[in-house]
Amino acid sequence: MPDTMTPMTASSKPMSKHAIALREKIDAHTATVGIIGQGYVGLPLALVVAEKGFPVVGLDVDAEKIEALNAGRSFIHYIPDSRIGAVRESGKYEATENFDRLRECDVILICVPTPLTAQREPDLRYIRIASEQIRNSLRPGQLVVLESTTYPGTTDELVQAILEGESGRDGDQMTHLVCGEDFFLAFSPEREDPGRADFTTSTIPKVVGGVDPVSGDLADLFYGKVISSTVRVSTARAAEASKLTENIFRAVNIALANELKIIYERLGIDVWEVLDAAETKPFGFMRFNPGPGWGGHCIPLDPFYLTWKAREAEVTTRFIELAGEINIRMPEYVVEKAMLALNERGKAMNGSKILVLGLAYKKNIADPRESPAFEILDRLLDLGASVNYHDPHIPVAPSMRRHPEFAGLHSADLTPAILAEQDAVILITDHDKVDYGMVAEHAKLIVDTRGVMRGIREKIKGRLVQA
């Protein structure tokens, strides 16, 4: 029988003294937690961890963000200042630009962006930089968890190699620390869904997979202290694949809904009526709505992480890539519909005034990342239109990775006079705060990509185009 003072893992391998010490700190809520990245993923997680009693160090390279957080000010609209102020006053949360403070952290969570390159290949520079910063302060007894969405193998191929100083990069130094013995490494995908009220950071089940069983045990123990439930999987690769599978499922079904919209429109069938009818089946159908394209920080990006990794195994991903082609083309389809509708009314797109209604990638949030609205604005400008936008949640357009030219553009007021001035209004995001009755009454032409106007379409027949 094993010594009761030497706990066993799922693999029946004794825990090292460093693992035992870390486990005791996590159990006692005395483990200091460092979270790299204080954005849409890292900040909500930091607040939950601090609210559960762990001391949290939030790390970010954005000096303005750090200053705001330490002053108790939120930059995410659905996180109130009072919540940040509360954890600051409790002494459980501090934000900093000083990455040397990683040395004092017992648990380190990596919540950094994973964009694509212009060639739609994984861009892991932020994961690499974060891993190198951790390696510079790595000591025995630390648990590192990657939360950024990525392809299977990133945690054990890239992050582990960097942490052990074996990544092959110039200037790497061996840390002489062994994963699973001295430090511990796992993957747990973020599952944030901004704007949801029914599920929050603390109530969405957390998938956890370790590079080794001991790392998986420690990561599962930690998340179990701050999240309502965890889902333990066998490896970090399985956890990485689970997140990609979730978002690929959504991407493929959104593409199907978009393709059906185009087909049914050609056949003179209302896709929204069809979806309403299909949704009445109590089994075997899950509704996905069509729209102007895909958006957000996950769905437009994550599927391509798997297609890139699959090529390494000489596997083609035709289904995923076809879904990508359909979704990427939707902004072009919307602009074509608007252009044809204007043409039928004797107006050219060149010189027309167009108001894009909604800049966020989905309703009732202030997040414009990868929103199709930017691609639509860009195409309208290329065709010579005079464009503006209205979004009650985004008063000023931020600088975007792919469309920095729209940074600083201000949301127009939504008034009867402004609506009447427009040659067309293109409805991109169906925010609840918008007065669609006023839009219907005063707009000369409405291009509706979300089916918002379908309940009153008979009243505005001749001025409504479904796209």
Within this chain, do residues 263 and 162 fall inside the same structural domain, yes or no?
Answer: no
**How far, in Å, are 81, 89, 203, 396 from residue 367 at the CA level?**
18, 28, 22, 12
Residue that terminates a domain, selected from 184, 200, 234: 234
d(CA 358, CA 423): 17
**pTM for the predicted model, two decimal places:** 0.91
Within this chain, do residues 224 and 256 fall inside the same structural domain, yes or no?
Answer: no
Within this chain, do residues 76 and 111 fall inside the same structural domain, yes or no?
Answer: yes
Within this chain, do residues 182 and 63 fall inside the same structural domain, yes or no?
Answer: yes
Residue for token digits 């940040």? 84
Per residue in 109-156, pLDDT tens? 999 999 988 888 999 999 999 999 999 999 999 999 999 999 999 999
- Is 4 domain-assigned? no
Q: How many other CB atoms sit within 10 Å of the CB of residue 442?
A: 17
- Is 146 domain-assigned? yes
Residue that terminates a domain, selected from 171, 205, 234: 234
Per residue in 407-456, pLDDT tens? 999 999 999 999 999 999 999 999 999 999 999 999 999 999 999 999 88
Q: What is the CATH number of the domain that holds 190?
A: 3.40.50.720
Residue for token digits 């429109």? 265
Is the pLDDT at 103 greater than 50? The verdict is yes
- Is 6 domain-assigned? no
Domains held by the chain: number: 2
Give the E-state strand segments of 379-459 in sequence order.
Answer: 386-390, 424-427, 446-448
Structure tokens at 324: 């990508």
Range 359-384 burial, b when 16+ CB lie within 10 A, else e: bbbbbbbbbbbbbbbbbbbbbbeebe
- Which of the given ranges, 299-308, 352-361, 402-411, has the highest pLDDT on average? 352-361
Within this chain, do residues 172 and 73 fall inside the same structural domain, yes or no?
Answer: yes
Residue that terminates a domain, selected from 234, 264, 292: 234
Residue span of the structural domain in which 350 resides: 251-466
Structure tokens at 448: 């509706």
- Is 2 domain-assigned? no
Look at residue 7 in the predicted model and tell me its pLDDT: 45
- Is 243 domain-assigned? no
Is the pLDDT at 12 greater than 60? The verdict is no
Structure tokens at 85: 């102020």
Within this chain, do residues 185 and 295 fall inside the same structural domain, yes or no?
Answer: no
Within this chain, do residues 230 and 297 fall inside the same structural domain, yes or no?
Answer: no
**How far, in Å, are 151, 169, 327, 330 from residue 121 at the CA level?**
11, 20, 17, 21
Answer yes or no: are the C-beta atoms of 112 and 144 closer than 8 Å. no
Within this chain, do residues 324 and 392 fall inside the same structural domain, yes or no?
Answer: yes
Look at residue 167 in the predicted model and tell me its pLDDT: 46
- Is 41 domain-assigned? yes
Within this chain, do residues 228 and 280 fall inside the same structural domain, yes or no?
Answer: no
Task: Indicate which residues carry an active-site annotation.
Answer: 298
